[in-house]
Structure 1
Amino acid sequence: MENDDVNLLLTEETTGHFLLVPPDGLCWISVVSCLLLAFSFVGSLYVWKSNLPSDHPTVIKRRFTSVLIISTLSPILVWTWREVTGLRPSPSLWALMGIRFEGLVPAAVLPLLLTMLAFLGPVIQLATVCPWNFMDGIQVAFDPWSWMQCFSDMLWLRNQVVAPLTEELVFRACMLPMLLPCSSPSTAIFTCSLFFGVAHLHHVFELLRFRQGTVSGIILPAIFQFSYTAVFGAYTAFIFIRTGHLVGPVLCHSFCNYMGFPDISAALENPHCLTVLSCYMLGVLLFFLFLFPLTDPTYYGLPSPVCTLSSSHSSLCIT
């Protein structure tokens, strides 16, 4: 196979699938590019001089501007990486980043359903203390005024819209296409999750700066947050690779931000404790049972575009 425009080698195994053999130096370029993305994203939050806390509406609005600029420029870095390395696979740059129409509806529905299964316990727990009945919830969901109030709330807009969209774009859609050519999908997922977890440690400096607690009271929760965000980052990276879509990770990210970390202590004090705890266990069981079936690449247009960059065969990229 000969292609003067593409600086890569392809090998074919007995399965009939082609594997990408990365050119020399590709991994260093990819890792440095991902570091540049991560530092740019986090650094953009601090270009504004302010003595206000991070949850202040003024700070949030300024940071919206910064991260949206970085998120807009990040595909340019991926394009530059592609030009420098000479990797030009058949899928377009946008398809590699999970922005495509094929399989869009299942990509938006099935990963979110899977995530809801994982949160079955917290959802039932929330329902037992919610003052609304089912019809009240439906009415609020379709009430334009309630949505207008949400979009005027800077905290809601940050947690449910801007953060999920920009973080998934930068840390999944841009990083994974650069990591996959020089590593297995599982290694790319692990590496990507570390970038994501470390990127959230900047909150420690803000808490120390405003003296919001003791040092030990700040560091220990930070370690927990790193672990939680790294695991979550691995999950959404898994969804991105399996589905080849950005929409699933964004919606799952938004949902998880809304739910927060499960409050086990509140579940133990819930009047319906046995039911809630049973749903916790059932949800975890169903999540692992349907993890691969609901992310089967055949639902989303086989093969996943980003998997065409993989340098090794993996069950993550095939059915």
Structure 2
Amino acid sequence: MSKGIKKIGVMTSGGDSPGMNAAVRSVVRTCAYHKIECYGIYRGYEGLIEGDFVKMDARSVKGIINKGGTVLKSARSKEFRTKEGRAKAHEQFVKAGIDGFVVIGGDGSFTGAMVFNQEYGFPVMGIPGTIDNDIVGTTHTLGYDTALNTVVEVIDKIRDTASSHNRLFFVEVMGRDVGHIALNAGVGAGAEEILIPEEDLGLERLLDSLRRSKQSGKSSSIVVVAEGDKIGKSVFELKDYVEENMSEYEVRVSVLGHMQRGGSPSCFDRVLASRMGVKAVESLLEGKSNYMVGLKNDLIELTPFDQAVKGKAKIDKELLRVSDIMTV
């Protein structure tokens, strides 16, 4: 291991996701293992600019592996997007003697880290923390697995009501630009239809699908809708359209919202966070910088920030085919 880095900072940035605390714990304890000082940076880049740091050791992170959210808090920083703001951030690092940092967040957080590295050559590593699973370079982002389990559990409960009252439910899940949550949770929960941004189903095809479900003997249906789906202006517009054209259905809408980002992380996310934290710290100590750690073929590997933030995670076409078959 390189002896160049003596103090490492760790922050959580952007939207929270289950597993962030487990990643903070892993970073802190890996630093302790290698006898490197570690500082928690509160409120992401905003806290960095203000020098809101706290020294952390192995005992500082006890009892957080099972907690959702982030003990370091998170915030979005407009000031860090300016050169003046990044200059203040660099001054705070120099003042504290921190010579490398780990940012846990999404593509916006990585973009900020990449620009900061370009301007100051400051060593940085990224850990992908977002439930959307929309970052290139990893098959799973932290929180994605937990969010899927949360959504499937809720849909299972909604189906009980749908079956009892012969209702059609539109269930909106997160996914502004990608449909990973909708597709996987839809298949896992046995949804009759899945609407995602990557596939323009069209209103008429949606009606045809619902009619086939009705004709096949189904008395109730669940349609999972990613919030970024382009068929209608909103899930409520879809509800109105179906009610106008299929009066035999009593239609309800359930928007799951931020409950998908909360809750205790799954075992998968806890283990993934632990592996990623170790890789991030040890990569910094090896002299590497400007990379995101990610899961590929069950191995923790590095992807350059520019590839991670510029690429777009592709939807699983085979799973789309599976979903079509399952709706027969």
Measured against the shorter chain, the TM-score band is: under 0.3
- Using the size of structure 1 for normalisation, the TM-score is 0.25
Higher fraction of strand: 2
Between structure 1 and structure 2, the one with the greater Rg is 2
More relative contact order in 1 or in 2 (CA 8 Å, sep 6+)?
1
Higher fraction of helix: 1
